[in-house]
Amino acid sequence: MDFDQADAINQAIRMLSLRHRARTAELLAPLGLHPGQEALLLELARSGPMIQAQLSEALGVERPSVTLMARKLEAAGHIRRSSAPDDQRATVVELTDRGRALTDGIKQLWCALAQQTLAGLPAQTVAELPDLLKTLAGNVDTRRARQHRDAG
């Protein structure tokens, strides 16, 4: 691949990422949320109560980031944190009724954002996009690169 093609691809991905995050922030603000917090709430809605370390892994973010998000969401009454019954060092995170109710609004917002983002794309492209994006994310996953380097 030559530089011009690489530059065009990297710039397009960078701009998509920046604009998607900015639009996400705009849509979440009326709900009192910041980008990333919606993913935590949706993961808990999908999976049920989780140990904070598992939540970090599921979200693909560092543990301190999950701790900070969890503190803020707990202060807002959206989640509850408690010690794990079998390991006092581990923290279990679960949705409160208020958090569960909020996830319905997040799901609607998420659908609207996806529709806006994908407007004008052929149905076949939309159908293939999740797998394609997962492949791209995996290709640049720093944890995977670190594991591959350490194994070699």
Task: Please write the tens of the pLDDT for every residue from 31-90.
Answer: 999 999 999 999 999 999 999 999 999 998 999 999 999 999 999 999 999 988 888 788
Distance, in Å, from the CA atom of 41 to the CA atom of 34, rounded to the nearest integer, reads 11
pLDDT at 126 over 80: yes
| pTM for the whole structure | 0.84
For residues 97 and 114, membership in a common domain is answered with yes
For residues 113 and 138, membership in a common domain is answered with no
Distance of CA 54 to the CA centre of its chain: 14
Quick one: pLDDT band at residue 150, thresholds 50, 70, 90? low
For residues 129 and 99, membership in a common domain is answered with no
Burial (CB < 10 A; 0-12, 13-18, 19+), residue 92, is middle
For residues 70 and 134, membership in a common domain is answered with no
Distance, in Å, from the CA atom of 54 to the CA atom of 81, rounded to the nearest integer, reads 14
Distance, in Å, from the CA atom of 3 to the CA atom of 21, rounded to the nearest integer, reads 27
pLDDT at site 84: 84
For residues 54 and 85, membership in a common domain is answered with yes
For residues 106 and 67, membership in a common domain is answered with yes
Q: What range defines the domain where residue 41 resides?
A: 3-119
Mean pLDDT of 6-33: 95
pLDDT at site 90: 87
pLDDT at site 19: 96
**How many CB atoms neighbour CB 28 within 10 A?**
19
| Number of independent structural domains in the chain | 2
